[in-house]
C-alpha cells in the first residue's frame, strides 16, 4: 500500500503496535430497537451501532453512530445485556 501525504511519517504511524484502549459497551433493547452503546455517563450512551430493529430506524439521523442515546432505567422499558 502506498500512502501519499504531507504529514510527517512519525505522526502517521503514531500509535501503531500499541494495544487498543479497552472500551466497555452495553447492549440495550428499547421497544423493537436493539442498540450497542458506549456509556458516557449514567443513563446516557453514545451509539456504536444498531444491532436489530425495523429497517426505517436505520435511516433515522438521531440513531446514527456517535449520537447520544438516553437509555434510562430498566423500569422505563429498556433491557440490558
Work out the end-to-end distance of the chain between its first and last CA atoms, rounded to an integer number of angstroms.
40
Res 19 pLDDT > 70:
no
Average pLDDT over residues 44-54: 94
Average pLDDT over residues 23-50: 92
Q: How confident is the model at residue 10 (pLDDT cuts 50, 70, 90)?
A: confident
Look up residue 9 and give its three cell numbers: 511519517
Q: What is the number of alpha carbons within 13 Å of residue 44 lying toward its C-beta?
A: 5
d(CA 10, CA 81) in angstroms, rounded, equals 41
d(CA 62, CA 43) in angstroms, rounded, equals 17
Would you state the pLDDT for residue 78? Answer: 56
**Residue pair 53/32 in contact by the 8 Å Cβ criterion:** yes
The pTM is what? Answer: 0.64
Average pLDDT over residues 56-73: 90
Average pLDDT over residues 2-12: 83
How confident is the prediction for the chain on average, in pLDDT? 84
d(CA 47, CA 62) in angstroms, rounded, equals 10
Radius of gyration of the chain (CA): 18
Amino acid at each position: 500500500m502506498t500512502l501519499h501525504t504531507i504529514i510527517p511519517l512519525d505522526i502517521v504511524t503514531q500509535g501503531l503496535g500499541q494495544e487498543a484502549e479497552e472500551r466497555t459497551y452495553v447492549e440495550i433493547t428499547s421497544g423493537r430497537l436493539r442498540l450497542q452503546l458506549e456509556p458516557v455517563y449514567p443513563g446516557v450512551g453514545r451509539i456504536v451501532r444498531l444491532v436489530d430493529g425495523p429497517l426505517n430506524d436505520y435511516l433515522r439521523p438521531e440513531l446514527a453512530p456517535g449520537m447520544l442515546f438516553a437509555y434510562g432505567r430498566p423500569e422505563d422499558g429498556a433491557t440490558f445485556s
